[in-house]
Amino acid sequence: MADSQFPIENPKDSQFNNGPYMVLSDASTFDSTDGCFIAYVTDQGQEELEAISDFKGVENNQFGSVTLNELIDAYNKVHGTNL
């Protein structure tokens, strides 16, 4: 799976001292962003995903990804923030 090159650390003076968390689209639960990523899959990867309804069935050469921590780091660089 994808590994982040940019660990996210909140500054001690930030009001946002906990997280980052990934909240699911229905807002019913949350998880740490460590290890989470956004992926696009090949046609074959899509078939594997649909067959077993689990991303573990998708081979490494069947998807491209970016971690959520990398996305947060990029956002901070572009917007001059430190979330």
Q: Where exactly are the structural domains of the chain?
A: 21-79
Q: To the nearest whole percent, how much of the chain has pLDDT over 70?
A: 83
pTM score of the predicted model: 0.64
Helix H, strand E, coil C: the string for the chain is CCCCCCCCCCCCCCCCCCCCEEECCCCCCEEECCCCEEEEECHHHHHHHHHHCCHHHCCHHHEEEEEHHHHHHHHHHHHCCCC
**pLDDT for the residue numbered 32:** 82
User: In this model, does residue 10 exceed pLDDT 80?
Assistant: no
How many Å apart are CA 70 and CA 22, to the nearest integer?
Answer: 13
Amino acid letter for position 82:
N
